[in-house]
Amino acid sequence: MPEVKSDDEWETEVVVVEVNGVLDARSIRQAIAAKQTTLRRPETETPLLQIGNSLFTGKWLRTVGTDIILQADGGQHLKVDMEVSSGDESDVELRPSQDLQSKYEEKKRIEEKIQALMKDFERKRLEEKARKACEAAAAASLESTLTNVVSTTSEVPTAAGKPSEQNSMIRSSGHIIRGPSTPADSPVLTETGCDLPHSSSVEQPRSEECEKEGMDCELPSSSVEVPPVPTYEEIEECIYRVDNKKKAMSLMCFCRGNNLDCSDSRCDNRAMFTECPKNCLGKGKDCGNRRFSKREYAAVQAFYTGPNKGFGVQAVAPIK
């Protein structure tokens, strides 16, 4: 084993080593700066130094701080500074500048992405605004067109004194009906029949063609035949009851006897569709949230719901 030299006899970074060729100190420093230098122990417990693609084996002499001193097989000594990446001050100053440059580029890329997203969002917002404006304009134009349609009948006399048939637009109860129009013998069709009500300022005689052909001009009525309302028996208590072992729970609200609105939305039980208990703080008639218990039912009436549906029940007045 060769004699170990003192720290003063070593160079700052590395000592020139010649194994499988010649490597100078600058080449080794550049490999260390590029993080291409590793020192590890294989299974044979022989230190292995890798600089770039070159491998060096030898004997591990000692460790000085974080510096590793290696004796190669050829007898050369190598000292590697594991903290400083390079012996040149220019190289040390170059790495921070490179890090700042990479951070600046990354920040610039992030800002560009944010600006692109903001532009895309603004474009979509303007497109949506333009689409809604077009829809509103189209709806307004359609409404204006329908409003300007007036029920008129036009008469154009011919040279022989006979009226000519023209198509007329008739607006009746929101419906437009097209048909021949003549001064006296052509009726105006409406939803309820050939004749308009007597309150109308225009008098329409009955069509002679309908009388000749024996046809009825009246349109079928849209009303539905309503059967008579059956008779119901009003009861105050539920006839059909089932055994229920669950106990009805009701909470105590914060209403007081002088609160006139204790049965409205400010009552907690009313908000939960639950009646107040018997010992409610709103004594007597002040508590209006016990109508079911007091059998204070609202007035109802039966109404016909439609064919094959029967009758239903609805309240006569809104229930508060």
What average pLDDT does this structure show over 169-188?
A: 42
Cα distances (Å, whole numbers) of residue 250 to 179, 229, 272: 69, 39, 10
pLDDT value of position 127: 92
Residue 62 has pLDDT above 70, yes or no: no
What are the pLDDT digits (tens) for 201-215? Answer: 444 444 455 454 544
- What does the pLDDT look like over 214-226, one tens digit per residue? 444 444 445 678 8
Closest CA to 191 of 175, 204, 203: 175
Question: What is the distance, to the nearest Å, from the Cα of residue 58 to the centroid of all Cα atoms in its chain?
Answer: 68
Q: Using one digit for the tens of pLDDT, what is the confidence trace for 274-314?
A: 888 877 776 656 677 777 777 788 888 888 888 888 889 89
Q: What is the pLDDT of residues 105-138, one digit of tens each?
A: 888 899 899 989 999 999 999 999 999 999 988 8
Tokens representing 31?
Answer: 């490999």
285 Cβ contact partners less than 8 Å away, ≥ 6 residues apart: none
In this predicted model, what pLDDT tens digit does every residue of 42-61 receive, in sequence order?
A: 444 455 565 655 555 555 45
Q: Residue ranges of the domains in the chain?
A: 7-87, 94-138, 268-315
Select, from the ranges 16-20, 255-259, 312-316, the one with the highest average predicted confidence (pLDDT): 312-316
User: Facing residues of 68 across strands?
Assistant: 63, 80
Banded model confidence at residue 103, pLDDT cuts 50, 70, 90: confident
- Phi, psi dihedral angles at 158 (to 5 degrees): -95, 175
